[in-house]
Chains A and B, each alone.
Chain A
Amino acid sequence: MQTKQVIEQLAAELEPIKPLRAPGARAVIWLALVGCAAAIVILSYAHRDSALARLAIPRIAIECAATGLTAIAAILAAFELSVPDRSPRWAWLPLPPLLAWLGASGLGCLRSGLLFHTHGTAIGESSHCFLFIVAVSVPLAVLLFAMLRRARPVNPIPVAAMGTLGVAASAAFLLEFFHPFDVTAIDLAMHLAAVAALILLGMALRRPLLGS
């Protein structure tokens, strides 16, 4: 088919559409919805006293804040990258909080593993962390990708990667309130494995998920 015919066909098929809201505004909507749901779950089911006691420890407060900031940054980056004319550098936004999250978790892991020799290296409890992150991420991802796919991203790989990092970090943030002890090396490995598995899955399924 000639380019001229393609243009005529596209013009003939044109229907009015409503432009999407700005990516930042759409990210805020998702974060607000998920934040409300997370607040309800935390207030209803979390071990509030032990969570508050843990959050009083600076390292754990930093770990928790870094996890939440990673989620916020990755979700914002996913929405920004879903629009064609936004800078690809948005993909770097979650890196600083991600490094802080890994650093703080790593310190906790060293502290519990090397200094006090508490918690063994058995997988038992840690597998719950993996399942928790994956199970919580699924509904969050459904909502996120339903919103992201409206933009039909022209480059779906970074969008899928940022989106799945965002939902996995959100789930890990929620896990902080259901995980009333320091992470061990195995816990940390499980958290990372869950996040990595979700990112890889999101990237592999980017086309059906994002409709690109």
Chain B
Amino acid sequence: MHAAQAGDRQAYGELLREVTPFIRALLRRHCSHRQDIEEMLQDTLLTLHRVRRTYDPRRPFTPWLGAIAARRGIDGLRRRLRVARHEISADARSYETFSEPAANDDIEALRARDEIDELLRRLPARQREALEALKLRQLSLAEAAAASGQSVAALKVNTHRALKALRALFQKES
């Protein structure tokens, strides 16, 4: 390091290459993430370069280097925690954790549809046919009567009963 302070570029390059494994080992105490360790390592090397004027050749080199690496490790860890506090990964598991309610509309709609399908399956067949034809597919009474084979009066009665049964089922479920 003394030679580096005097401007010996070759000695400086060798020194930096030699101390890199030592710095990496020190940084592993602060972090286990490989990419973060490399960032902290580069940060430490840049800091070492910036503060090389403060190295006193009469004192040991390792504590001086270790103090710089420890400080950059702590700074790196703080930066990582700060980022982790303000950012979330956008994978499928974290999808529902978005704070914007509209962001969850798609998944909520899928869930609601599954629940309605389940309730419809629990209705008597003729009531379910009547409800699907008139309310979900929005057919006219004549079209629904032709499609289901039920009379217009039976369709009206079954639709009415289906809605009443669904309401009861919803209340029971909630």
Flag if B7 contacts A154 (CB, 8 Å).
Answer: no
Whether, in the assembled complex, A16 has its beta carbon less than 8 Å from a beta carbon of chain B, the answer is yes
Tell me, rounded to whole Å, the shortest Cβ–Cβ distance linking B18 to chain A.
Answer: 10
- Interface of chain B residues 69 through 107 with chain A (CB within 8 A): 71-72
Flag if B51 contacts A11 (CB, 8 Å).
Answer: no
What size tier do the contact residues of chain B reach? 35 or more
Interface string of B122-164 (1 = CB under 8 A from A): 0000000000000000000000000000000000000000000
- Interface of chain B residues 8 through 60 with chain A (CB within 8 A): 8-10, 12-13, 16-17, 20, 38, 41-42, 45-47, 49-57, 59
Per the bound structure, the CA–CA distance linking A10 and B54 in Å amounts to 17
Tell me, rounded to whole Å, the shortest Cβ–Cβ distance linking B51 to chain A.
Answer: 5
Partner of B53, one of A3, A13, A20: A20
CB neighbours (8 Å) of A7 from chain B are 13, 16-17, 20, 45
Interface string of A119-155 (1 = CB under 8 A from B): 0000000000000000000000000000000111011
Whether, in the assembled complex, A15 has its beta carbon less than 8 Å from a beta carbon of chain B, the answer is yes
Partner of A6, one of B42, B67, B72: B42
CB neighbours (8 Å) of A154 from chain B are 47, 51, 67-68, 71-72
CB neighbours (8 Å) of A11 from chain B are 9-10, 12-13, 16
CB neighbours (8 Å) of B168 from chain A are none
- With A7-B45, A84-B67, A85-B67 known to touch, is A19 a contact of B20 (CB < 8 Å)? no
Tell me, rounded to whole Å, the shortest Cβ–Cβ distance linking A26 to chain B.
Answer: 11
Flag if A17 contacts B5 (CB, 8 Å).
Answer: yes
Interface size on A, residues (CB 8 A): 26
Flag if A85 contacts B64 (CB, 8 Å).
Answer: yes
CB neighbours (8 Å) of A84 from chain B are 51, 54, 64, 67-68, 71
Whether, in the assembled complex, A57 has its beta carbon less than 8 Å from a beta carbon of chain B, the answer is no
Whether, in the assembled complex, B4 has its beta carbon less than 8 Å from a beta carbon of chain A, the answer is yes
CB neighbours (8 Å) of B13 from chain A are 7-8, 11
Flag if A19 contacts B53 (CB, 8 Å).
Answer: yes
Flag if B59 contacts A85 (CB, 8 Å).
Answer: yes
Per the bound structure, the CA–CA distance linking A154 and B54 in Å amounts to 11
Whether, in the assembled complex, B6 has its beta carbon less than 8 Å from a beta carbon of chain A, the answer is yes
Flag if A3 contacts B12 (CB, 8 Å).
Answer: no
Partner of B4, one of A6, A14, A20: A14
CB neighbours (8 Å) of B55 from chain A are 19
Whether, in the assembled complex, A37 has its beta carbon less than 8 Å from a beta carbon of chain B, the answer is no
Whether, in the assembled complex, A83 has its beta carbon less than 8 Å from a beta carbon of chain B, the answer is yes
CB neighbours (8 Å) of B66 from chain A are 85
CB neighbours (8 Å) of A13 from chain B are 49
- A5: nearest chain-B partner, CB-CB: B42
Per the bound structure, the CA–CA distance linking A19 and B10 in Å amounts to 19
Chain A residues in contact with chain B, CB under 8 A?
Answer: 1, 3, 6-8, 10-20, 22, 82-85, 150-152, 154-155
Chain B residues in contact with chain A, CB under 8 A?
Answer: 4-10, 12-13, 16-17, 20, 38, 41-42, 45-47, 49-57, 59, 63-64, 66-68, 71-72
A-B contact pairs, 10 of them (CB 8 A): A1-B42, A3-B20, A6-B45, A14-B7, A17-B53, A20-B53, A83-B54, A84-B64, A84-B68, A151-B54
